[in-house]
Each structure stands twice: as C-alpha cells, then as structure tokens.
Amino acid sequence: MEYVTAPPHSGSEPARVRAGRRSLAVALLCGALGAAVALLASRQRWSSATAWPAGGDFPLTAKGSDVTGVPAALAIVGLAALVAVFAVRRAGRVLVAALLALFGAGTVVSAGLGASDSSALDEKAAQASGDTSATVGELSHTAWPYVAAAGGALILLAGLQTLRYGRRWPAMSGRYERDGTPRPRRAKPVDPDRPEDLWKALDRGEDPTGA
C-alpha cells in the first residue's frame, strides 16, 4: 500500500493569504481614514485669542490651515502614496511605503507643533490693529490639532503595515490574472503574403497555414 504525503507548507498557504488580505484591509482603512481625519481637522478652529486695538477688544480665531498647511498637504500626498503602492513592485513598493510612513510621521509632528503656535493669531492681531508688533492675550487652543495628529498616526500605521506585509499584496498589471498567473498572449494574425510573418509563426511553433 502506498501513502501519498502532502507537500510541505501546503496548509500554511491559506493562512498567508488571509494574513495578506487582513493587512491590506488594515492599511487601506488606516491610510484613507487618517488622510480624511487630518484634512477635516485642518479646516477646524485650532485656537482663539483676544486683541486690543484702539477702541476695544477684538476676538480672533485661527483655523488649522491658518496655523500650518503641512498636515493637510502631507495627508493628500500620503493618500496618493497609498494608491501608488499598488502600481509598483519590490523595491519600488518598499520606497513608496517608507514615504507613506514619513508622511504620516510628518503630519503628527507638524500638527503637534501647531497645537501651541500663536503666530497666526499674532499676525491677525497686527492686521486688526495696524501695529506690526501687536500680540494677543487670553490665548486658548482646541483639541483639533491632536485630532490631526491622530490622523497622521493612522497614515504612519498604514506605511508601517505596507512595509511589513506589502510584498504579499497584488499589484496592478494588465499581464496577470488575479491569481498571479500570466495571461496567454493572443497570436498575431499571419499574413501569407509576408514571408517574415510565416517565419515568425514557425519560430513560435504555430502552423502558418491555419490547418
């Protein structure tokens, strides 16, 4: 009686496929959600203060885009990098994943620095009072800079996830099916009046007569 042994690692392939799909879903969700959160937070009020030009006090507010445009810009290019991950392979994918992680880290840092920045309000106070040396008082900040930083952290996580598992993910290509096998190439029609076409067909192992 003969026994047929299963090939090694036959049972681990489905597990690798499932892990690749989970990591892909996590990276896409984190990257897209992080970019959306950072962009939304950049449009909200980050700080407020009061200026005292001649004639009384003057309330001032500053949105995230007034304080710094870096988080929103990095969120946009991070989203583009997330899409570009599927257009490249091997070393190119590693490079794009590293850039995605850097964009996320840059969003976190720039949003954190903007949380205590008052230069945008000082500039508005100078415009309101006509005095370039004017400053503001009663300065207060909201939680939106930290929300933007959280969005950056999600983008960073997407980049790290891509660095770790990106080699298991598929890439966009017209020559491959979804299972990774090459698509058969369609044979070009042979013109019987052109000898070079006949020779090429013979080299490919085809019957140029179509019989």
Over residues 184-205, the pLDDT tens digits come to: 555 556 555 565 665 566 556 5
Rounded CA separation 152/142 (Å): 17
> Bigger pLDDT: 74 or 175?
74
Rounded CA separation 182/188 (Å): 18
- What's the rounded mean pLDDT across residues 99-127? 89
Residue 91 — φ and ψ, nearest 5°? -65, -35
> Bigger pLDDT: 105 or 125?
105
Q: Which of helix, strand or coil describes residue 39?
A: helix
Over residues 19-47, the pLDDT tens digits come to: 777 888 899 999 999 999 999 999 999 98
Residue 138's pLDDT is: 75
Choice among 33-42, 86-95, 129-138, 176-185 with the minimum mean pLDDT: 176-185
The length of the chain, given as a count of residues: 211
Report the chain's mean pLDDT, rounded to a whole number: 78
> What confidence category does residue 126 fall into, taking pLDDT thresholds of 50, 70 and 90?
confident
Contacts of residue 167, defined as CB under 8 A and 6 or more positions apart, other chains included, come to 90, 93
